[in-house]
Amino acid sequence: MDSVLVNGLFVNRRSAIAALAATGVGLVTVGQPAHAATGKPLDFNNPYDNLYAFGKIWGGYDEPVLSGFHGLMYARIGATRAMPLFGYTDGNCWIRGKETGYFTDLATGDILDTWKNPFTGETVKVFNFYNPNMGGKLTAEMPRFAMGAAKDDATLMNDGTQRNTAGKVPFILPFETYGDDLLLAWDYAHEYTNPVNAEGWPKASTGPRISPSEHFTFSMSLSQMQDRSVPSSRFIAGFSRVSQWWPWMRMGGNEFAESGVLFGRMFSHKGLKGPGDIPPKVLAYIEKNAPEYLQPPDHWPQVTPRGTWEAYAAEVPPENPDYKPAR
């Protein structure tokens, strides 16, 4: 994959690691920020040095790198004990890439095509997430992600660590150093109009608003990050996700439709040596069903981030035959 010189890179979790496989396998190269300081230690108070570091974390400035997300998703209703539901494997991208997300059987690790919902007793078709084009750029200003309807408020990236969120916010992330340990917390918390509305998808919709959020805690080597001869920084991260029910679970109309919480705890890591490190069942599924996702895109797309709800509303026909989606 070619690299390109840009002022930065476009990122949200679904567009931060070029996911080319359903295991959360990512394949990425990035272009170095034009204003990043060279020949001296990184200054984490400098937005352009932050961009350099962020690109080195998520991807690499030379050869493509492989990354992965994988773990379990749980459900909780009220004060009841959290219930494990299924495994989850996912991935993301910049500068250009593709993204997929799959759900897996808790016992076997097989990718699910159908799933029996323990709350409703209904066997439902699983909606695997495919995003064929992802890309854009991020500048020295902290990005805001406008999801859902255009009138919705945009979400400021890492708003929990910003002290001044009005107007333009510089791209400065909350890096922490302890000896050679370089740590970073990165997250977003959305709230926006549900694209899967009850008028069109009464069984899939959980209400008029959704509020997905995702949270990472990265651990890296400070010396590796400071070494500009090293094009990519190895990381290991914890990753958690909280949201309403996935639309394909068909919880709409259920007594728990709006009160339930779906959350996941996952591993995230970068530095896989090649496709041989992808779990065999997942690799076989991709090779059979979506082999094009094992190849990087052949252009540099600049597209709006798309989440699972947006994809579901675009790809799954409305349950109500009389519903006409706005265009």
| pLDDT tens-digit readout, 272-285 | 667 777 778 888 88
Top-confidence residue, 99 or 82: 82
pLDDT confidence tier of residue 209, bands split at 50, 70 and 90: very high
Q: What rounded mean pLDDT belongs to the chain?
A: 80
pLDDT confidence tier of residue 175, bands split at 50, 70 and 90: very high
Q: Is the dihedral of CA 193, 195, 196, 198 positive or negative?
A: positive
Burial 169-185 (b: 16+ CB within 10 A, else e): bebbbebeeeeeebebb
pLDDT confidence tier of residue 200, bands split at 50, 70 and 90: very high
pLDDT of residue 5: 24
- Residue 168 falls within a domain, yes or no? yes
Top-confidence residue, 100 or 24: 100
pLDDT beyond 90 at 268:
no
Number of domains, the chain: 1
pLDDT beyond 90 at 59:
no
Residue 38 and residue 149: Cα distance in Å, rounded? 41
- Residue 4 falls within a domain, yes or no? no
Counted residue by residue, the chain has a size of 327
- Residue 89 falls within a domain, yes or no? yes
Where is average pLDDT lowest: 23-37, 49-63, 195-209?
A: 23-37
Residue 167 and residue 121: Cα distance in Å, rounded? 48
Q: Is 7 exposed, middle or buried (0-12, 13-18, 19+ CB in 10 A)?
A: middle
pLDDT beyond 90 at 157:
no
- Residue 326 falls within a domain, yes or no? no
Q: Are 251 and 245 in contact (CB under 8 A)?
A: yes
pLDDT of residue 112: 95
- Residue 300 falls within a domain, yes or no? yes
150 Cβ contact list (under 8 Å, min separation 6): none
- Residue 321 falls within a domain, yes or no? no
Where is average pLDDT lowest: 108-122, 146-160, 241-255?
A: 146-160
User: Which residue range(s) make up the domain with 151?
Assistant: 13-315
- Residue 293 falls within a domain, yes or no? yes
- Residue 233 falls within a domain, yes or no? yes
Rounded average pLDDT over 231-253: 93
pTM, full prediction? 0.80
Locus of tokens 């035959």? 321
pLDDT of residue 120: 94
